[in-house]
Amino acid sequence: MERGRAVLIVTCGVVVVLAVVLGALSWEQANKIATSASALAGVAAVGVGGWAAYAGSARRGVRVADSGRAVSGPGGNAVSGVRAPAGQGPGDIAVERTGDADASAGGDAVSGADLTDD
């Protein structure tokens, strides 16, 4: 199970338990209803905030397949695949069946993954 999904399930469980406990105390008074609703909303907001923070920090991957031919002119660069900064890319990189890379006119050409240092 994904960690983000587990956070949401635990949060929902806490909200349900809190609703049952607060409901059993005394629902006759309007201030208890308002307090209960506020407590439930607060717990739900914390859980959703935690889930959003985790989901936003997850690294995504890149998959490139069956790309076309890349031709580099004099002093140019061509990549038939993917180019990303080394160690700072979008996560896992998978490259398969990339096209030809032609640098016969000068410049650089890469067929596959070009992980740069800049």
Residue type, 15: V
Kindly state the tokens that stand for 37.
């609703």
pTM of the model: 0.43
Domain extent listing, the chain: 3-57, 62-116
pLDDT at 57: 60
Per residue of the chain (118 residues), give pLDDT as tens.
677 788 888 888 888 877 777 677 665 665 776 688 788 888 888 888 887 777 666 667 778 888 888 888 888 888 888 877 777 666 777 888 888 888 888 888 888 887 877 6
Rounded distance, CA 108 to CA 71, Å? 9
pLDDT at 58: 60
- C-alpha pair distances (Å), 109 with each of 5, 6, 81, 84, 98: 42, 45, 10, 15, 12
pLDDT at 11: 84
pLDDT at 26: 62
Q: Which residues contact residue 8 at a Cβ distance below 8 angstroms, ignoring those fewer than 6 apart?
A: 47, 48, 51
Cβ count near 12 (within 10 Å): 13
Question: Helix 3-25 vs helix 30-57: angle between axes, to the nearest 10 degrees?
Answer: 170
Nearest to 100 by CA among 108, 92, 109: 109
